[in-house]
Amino acid sequence: MLQRLVRCCGLHQVERGTKVRAVDAIAEKLNTKLSKWKPEISQEVRALVSQVIDAADNDALDVIRSRAAEQEVLDQLDEPASR
């Protein structure tokens, strides 16, 4: 028998008419945290997670790491010099 699966919010995969069939632990933790954080924090986290997912889909996670390292250097250059 072919089971029909329905995706609700992108985090859960449910069998039609039944409870959640499988939820990855990290997705469950993220879902819980998003509802507890301030709205602006949740929005920023959603955007970052979306960027990571897109990069992973395109085998480009190394680009995100490179940008993070570049930003660290730029932040250090912006800091006032201590003499």
Domain ranges of the chain: 5-78
Condensed to tens digits (0 to 9), the pLDDT of residues 52-73 reads 889 889 888 888 778 788 888 8
State yes or no: pLDDT of 1 exceeds 50: no
Higher pLDDT, 59 or 36: 36
Give the model's confidence band at 3: pLDDT under 50 very low, under 70 low, under 90 confident, else very high: very low
State yes or no: pLDDT of 10 exceeds 60: no
pTM for the model: 0.52
Q: What's the chain look like in SS3? A: CCCCEEECCCCCEEECCCCEEECCHHHHHHHHHHHHCCHHHHHHHHHHHHHHHHHHHCCCHHHHHHHHHHHHHHHHHHCCCCC
